[in-house]
Amino acid sequence: MEAYAVTKHLRLSATKARLVTRLIVGKPINEAKAILKVLPNKACKFIEDTLDSAVANGENNFKMDRDSMYITKAVVDSEAPLKRVFPRGFGRADITKKPVSRIMVIVKDKEGE
């Protein structure tokens, strides 16, 4: 049985967040949470929240055991960037694009394989 959670519209670079998700895929939930607590990356907080939501979905919707769950897949995709305009000289404007991403975490029960 699989359960998942998705967090959308995060002001976060997808490439930087993928570095963190690579470390936790295939790990049990407790070990993954310990890794996320220690790392200094901004993405860790968002990934941990998404992981907690996926675990809660598994426990409540599919009656999965928290101790036997592990992370099957963690995907970080980029969304359309936020566009901001900065005024420049002579009436011109510069546009900066700020990254936005989406995180999806899938957990699976070892007993339900």
For residue 84, give the CATH number of its domain: 3.90.470.10
Residue-wise pLDDT tens digits, 33-66:
999 999 999 999 999 999 999 999 999 999 999 9
Coil, helix or strand at residue 46 = helix
Q: Residues 105, 77: contact at Cβ < 8 Å?
A: no
How many helices (H) and strands (E) are present in the chain, helices listed first?
3, 5
Which range marks the domain in which residue 99 is found?
A: 2-109
Q: Angle, nearest 10°, between helix axes 43-62 and 29-38?
A: 160
What total number of domains does the chain contain? 1
Q: Note the pTM of the prediction, 2 decimals.
A: 0.91
**DSSP single-letter state for residue 58:** H
pLDDT, position 113: 57
